[in-house]
Structure 1
């Protein structure tokens, strides 16, 4: 990406889409955590359903504009696998954090009881230590981001499978698994907004290192080991900052460059027969 793209309408539409998408996502998750008048705090079912349904809706609305990443961990995983350039990643992460802070502040202003904002914050339970919560966040984020990369890979191959629905299910599964042990943030922006509003920063680093590390591991493992285009040459190209698209085309669907060339030759022959 060049600096000229900063002046394009498409770039700022993508940045605004990340801001609005994260704002909607965090608002839905935090709103599902607040108990109603006279109600006891609910379990992980409400936020699990809220995050899954909202992810599907946000991906439908903003997927063609920015990819609907709405998560700094996902953005950094795309950056690590060279699916996203550095300048765009910086603006996306900034927009995501800003959207999360705006949604947290707006919900805090409309709460009838300000003490209810404690439900917003991701906390390490007393029965666990920070390292255990870090492991839970890493595992939950790994399965979620791996699903994101798999759905994106199928979309590039024009697969008829509903990728957005799979990603929504992966978010729901992550919350159901880890909500009781770490809060199942899986999204640093979702943790940053409430922490900034309430001033609660204890073990805040867990909800950055865990999701980011899990996301990067998921992205790298999918792109270079499990994807149809995965190959050792593709990994070497990524590590040496070479053009990864040429290697990916050569290894796509497990074929070699000679096989791709042969397929092109067959298509040309068929075209010539049609012309004759």
Structure 2
């Protein structure tokens, strides 16, 4: 139970730090023009790497309801924990946005960190950009986690940071490149701006779930039809994964033995 609440607090604090860092990079200084998506992209990527090191072993440093819901959809997370995490992420994002708002020298600059659809883009186009940006981010997250489960030494936090920065650069001029419903919710609560807010929930959540499902059941080394059926029928996925891994290992051993026999025959001849 202690570990559960510790993980919840990690998600709350992580979301607070993440949102305040990204929003702080989005706000221009007094007399400055808008800097575009470059500064928020760099801030998002760097703070994601830092949070991965700080809270990765505690809660996974998800700090994003879309990521959490994708883990729930692929049954990597149970329902109660997922709901608590989403609540903590939204609360942390609101506290982060509120702290930054009260720290701003000019309150009017708060409009710069609100997620909104530009006038040149319609809501459907912004939805598509959020879906695409979040898809590539969450697919990277699942790939990194899969490598970690197999004890690879790849610097996974760095890959996630790069993917997050790329997502902000992809969607920054068309939808704001939020990819995170909590990051959009916090400023909306503080400023009261709710126009097209649904875009920043449906787009990221749909993109995240599609990425998680496609990786787990089509691209992961343990992907199989049996695993997909187990997920849809609420059976034990880990047991199916263990069976598929043992089969693949057995197949590898068999192939190696057959090659050794062929080599021995050739040497005898």
TM-score by length of 1: 0.90
Q: Choose which of 251, 259, 271 in structure 1 pairs with 2:250.
A: 259
Equivalents in 1 of 2:198, 2:212: separation in Å? 21
In structure 2, how many angstroms separate the alpha carbons of the residues matched to 1:90 and 1:149? 20
- Aligned equivalents of 1:18, 1:86: Cα separation in 2: 16
Unaligned runs of 5+ in 1: 1-7, 264-276
Name segments (4+ residues, structure 1) moved above 4 Å: none
1:78 positional shift: 0.0
Match of 1:82 in 2: 75
Is 1:134 the counterpart of 2:130? The answer is: no
1:113 aligns with 2:113: no
CA distance in 1, matches of 2:42, 2:66: 21
Deviation string 1:37-59 (CA, Å, 9 cap, x unpaired) is 22111011100000000000000
Q: Which residue of structure 2 aligns with residue 123 of structure 1?
A: 116
* Aligned twin of 1:173: 166
Q: What do the CA deviations read for 1:15-56 (whole angstroms, capped 9, x no partner)? A: 000000010000100000111122111011100000000000
2:206 is matched with 213
| RMSD, aligned α-carbons | 1.6
Q: What displacement does 1:258 show?
A: 8.2
Question: C-alpha distance in 2, partners of 1:104/1:27?
Answer: 6
Structure 2: where are the runs of 5+ without partners?
255-269
Distance across 1 between alignment mates of 2:4 and 2:41? 32
SS in 2 for 1:66: coil
Matches of 2:249 and 2:101 in 1, distance apart? 60
Cα separation, 2, equivalents of 1:37 and 1:127: 26
Residue 64 (structure 1) aligned with residue 57 (structure 2): yes
1:257 CA drift (Å): 7.1
TM-score by length of 2: 0.92
Out of 10, 18, 22, the position equivalent to 1:17 is: 10
